[in-house]
A and B are shown apart, each in its own frame.
Chain A
Amino acid sequence: MTDINNDPKSTKALNSQLVKDDVKRAVSRRSAIKSGLALMSGGAIAASTASVANAVTPDPLITEIQDWNRYLGEGVDARPYGSPSQFESEAVRRDVPWLTADAKSSVNFTPLHKLEGVITPNGLCFERHHGGIAEIDPADHRLMINGLVDTPLIFTMEDLKRFPRENKVYFLECAANSGMEWRGAQLNGCQFTHGMVHNVMYTGVPLKYLLAEAGVKTAGKWVLPEGGDASHMTRSIPLDKCLDDCLVATHMNGEALRPEQGYPMRLVVPGWEGNMWIKWLRRIEIGDKPWHQREETSKYTDLLEDGLARRFTWVMDVKSVITNPSPQAPIDHGRGQTVLSGLAWSGHGKVSRVDVSIDGGRNWKPARLDGPSWSRSVHRFYYDFNWDGSELLLQSRAVDEFGNVQPTKNALRAQRGVNSIYHNNSIQTWHIKPDGSAENVEVS
């Protein structure tokens, strides 16, 4: 990720965008109410946002026959490739325009607050491109293996289909996820603070099978995957990692990769930073030393307070965030029983535990993990509780199977300063106000 700095002028721009969107949302809600009123012939506004303990007048949505109760809907062929309900139009990727100079080398964010379970739908997986989306006809795509191998090889897509393949669910997180939050609370919504992560089931060929076809020479220790897009993205990866668990994936969540995710093939590097998962993969070179490419020198190195910079910081550390409630998903029902929900993941392995605090980290209760628990896949957690309507300072803290603990923001800053950009896995705080709205804050 480039240029993630805390630029207050640009923050203004984002704020204005957020405000505009809020206004849009309010307007559409208002017109919904208006049309409701017209239908209701003067009755109460039933079942709108705030819940009503006792109805005074009958709900016209129940007592009157609605259009969809009477008229036929579209037939089977109306939507050959289905899309979400028109009422889910806010569940979309969004960007922060001021972060980068051009949309072709930029990023957008997964709407985590709109999602459930552990799998990210293909159309909502965040995007990060360095030269725009390459549109490649699979018939025109070639994958080359060269360097320290017995036989440099070329594979076509048809060739790739003949290798044994596997299905694995992994999260992919950009190393710069939460990068804007190093200096302090900045962006208001988990989509923007944490939305550079997605979790997908990949179908792919273990990289070791492809390398075995070419025959890696004993001097070979490092691997350089390269993309076929206009940025020709490259990263150096140790050979051991490639032989261990890397995949060359052709499918995500059961269908062919989306163009923005590297169609027709991308590298999968489980648990490691997203930039290494080369999209539009076209070449794999074997060498005896790393290449020190731009994305492992100028970028994706972690500058520390003393001016030293860590390089080759590949693993994504244990991390969690509460997705609901959160600034884009306030509590609308007033006090009473509520569901707190969130996501946790670790590039080291499985998440073993998530704790939740409602008092800004003074006291913690274990959350309930639900759904599949796979190594280096996102875990879903819930904390069901009765909200008394008072202010809350919500936090979540994940622990993985190796005892790595998600640190507080201050603990991480004490180790690294505030200019690391990458690998911010610290604990997020949401302030829930008496009206149920939520804000990104820091606590002491």
Chain B
Amino acid sequence: MNHSIKRISVRAYGVAFFLIFMLGASAAQANDIENGKKLYRQCAGCHQIGPGASNSFGPQLNGVMQRGAAKVESFDYSSAFNEAMAPDVKWNSSSLSAFLEAPLTNIPGTAMAFPGVKSEDERTSIIAYLAAIDVDGNLTASTDEGAGKADSMAAEAQPRMLAADVEVPTHGVLHIGRAALAEEVAAWDIDVRPDGLGLPKGAGSAIAGVEIYDTQCAACHGDFGDGTGRWPVLAGGQDTLTDERPEKTIGSYWPYLSTVFDYVRRAMPFGNARSLSDDDVYSVTAYLMYLNDLVEEDFVLNSENFAEIRLPNEENFIADTRSKEPHFNGSVEPCMSDCLPGVATISQRARVLDVTPDEDI
């Protein structure tokens, strides 16, 4: 354990050393691009980039600094975005930085439902990365390959520890691993149970949830939780569970409110998980309850009232009763001959074949 901690810091040191002393000015740029590539991950949920990138929720971003703003013909930009862009204007570092800092304030009504990148350094890195990708999606500027070498050289220089010097822990049977620190457990242990176990202290109102939802969720899940395109529907569908096409939502199907809080906190917004504060999660959960007609608009959800709240479909969940079905546990001896009357007739064919090809996929 000690060993690997040492190795990591040696590596970081090695890289820094190499970049500062060997490469001079261009190293900082390479570093920016490397950094920008990492930071770009928060964008990747909506924007593809690289060879063969296509539009997804947002336009693909190959050569976005060269190609001109709002210039991907196959992408349906919002009218707000189109209007904000003068014809043939190109993004430059300062206009893009302003947009990325707060997209929704910079271009009110833009479909880029993303809160923005607050740190200027981070924006600079992201823009350096975007600028380094040409219209074919290839990285033009060289990010530095020597760094890896410096890393392994530095690591080799480190003398190996003597086996007998290793401290053996006392826990368990085989004495492997190390004790987790309380801060480490707190950082990862974010699950919440229906009885409220695991719920962080905090509160949020449905009203505060509106803003969060509209800016960070509605683009995919629809203004009223009705889902855009094939993105999941979050609200409505009450009393449809026995219909031919049931609509399973938080209000119509989910058994526990804790699942909403837990899931939004661990996985949403899609492509930027763990970015909401606990109070924001309370607020957006309260607003999702409102969208499902479960509470009034002045509702405030907090760590005290949370565990008392029941969702309407809770009692309709039952245990696994499959083993009582007749084809289980040897209760039916499979028939070998004349099992069904008459000659078999085809009652249905794969529907795929009956549908005329659709070219606009």
Interface residues of A (CB under 8 A from B): 2-3, 5-6, 8, 11-20, 97-98, 100-105, 130-132, 139, 144-147, 150-156, 158-159, 162-163, 184-188, 209, 212-215, 224, 226, 230-232, 234, 282-283, 285, 287, 289, 291-294, 297-298, 301, 303, 305-315, 317, 327, 355, 359-365, 393, 397, 399, 402-407, 411, 415, 419, 423, 431, 439-444
Contact = CB atoms under 8 A, between A and B. Distances in A.
B350 A187 contact: yes
Nearest to A224: B191
A393 B347 CA distance: 12
A153 B179 contact: yes
Contacts of A293: 191, 259, 262-263
Contacts of B180: 144-146, 152-154
Contact of A184 (B256, B339, B351): B351
Nearest to A407: B327
B57 A297 contact: no
Given A131-B267, A230-B271, A441-B349, A311 B344 contact: no
Interface in B320-352: 320-322, 325-332, 334-340, 343-352
A185 B347 CA distance: 10
A310 B191 contact: no
Interface stretch (B117-125, B238-246, B291-299): B238-246
7 contacts: A16-B357, A131-B267, A154-B179, A307-B242, A362-B337, A364-B335, A444-B347
A185 B351 contact: yes
A296 to B, nearest CB: 9
Nearest to A360: B344
Given A11-B351, A131-B270, A144-B180, A404 B329 contact: yes
Contacts of B332: 405
Given A17-B361, A101-B230, A224-B191, A5 B339 contact: no
Interface stretch (B75-83, B85-93, B132-140, B247-255): B247-255
B173 A213 contact: yes
A199 B8 CA distance: 37
Contacts of B241: 303, 307, 309
Contacts of A399: 334
A185 B338 contact: no
A404 B267 contact: no
Contact of A292 (B242, B259, B273, B321): B259
B310 to A, nearest CB: 13
A221 to B, nearest CB: 13
A397 B336 CA distance: 11
Interface string B178-222: 111000110011111111010000000000000000000000100
B188 A12 contact: no
Given A146-B185, A153-B177, A212-B173, 4 more contacts: A13-B361, A102-B270, A154-B180, A163-B176
Contacts of B270: 102, 104-105, 131
Nearest to A363: B337
A185 B322 contact: no
Interface string B152-178: 000000000000000000011111111
A355 B334 contact: yes
A155 B56 contact: no
A439 B193 contact: no
Contact of A308 (B193, B256, B316, B353): B316
A122 B346 CA distance: 37
A8 B351 contact: yes
B1 interface: yes
A162 B168 CA distance: 13
B359 interface: yes
B305 interface: no
A407 B356 CA distance: 33
Contacts of B259: 292-294, 297-298
Closest 5 CB pairs of A and B: A403-B330, A360-B344, A213-B172, A440-B350, A101-B230
B357 A397 contact: no
Contact of A185 (B330, B337, B344, B349): B349
Contacts of B350: 185-188, 327, 439-441
Q: Which of B44, B229, B346 is the most central at the interface, judged by chain A CB atoms within 10 Å of its CB?
A: B346
A259 to B, nearest CB: 15
Given A162-B174, A364-B336, A404-B328, A439 B353 contact: yes
B328 A230 contact: no
A152 B355 contact: no
Given A186-B350, A212-B172, A303-B248, A159 B177 contact: yes
A388 to B, nearest CB: 16
B353 A294 contact: no
B230 A411 contact: no
Nearest to A296: B259
A405 B334 contact: yes
A364 B189 CA distance: 54
Contact of B320 (A310, A359, A404): A310
A443 B346 contact: yes
B352 A186 contact: yes
B51 interface: no
A365 B45 CA distance: 51
Contact of A163 (B174, B230, B345, B349): B174
B358 interface: yes
B21 interface: no
Interface in B33-72: 44-45, 56-57
B178 A153 contact: yes
B357 A303 contact: no
B217 to A, nearest CB: 14
Contact of B191 (A13, A154, A285, A403): A285
B188 A283 contact: yes
A11 B321 contact: no
A348 to B, nearest CB: 9
A103 to B, nearest CB: 8
A232 B344 contact: no
A132 B176 CA distance: 32
Contacts of A315: 322
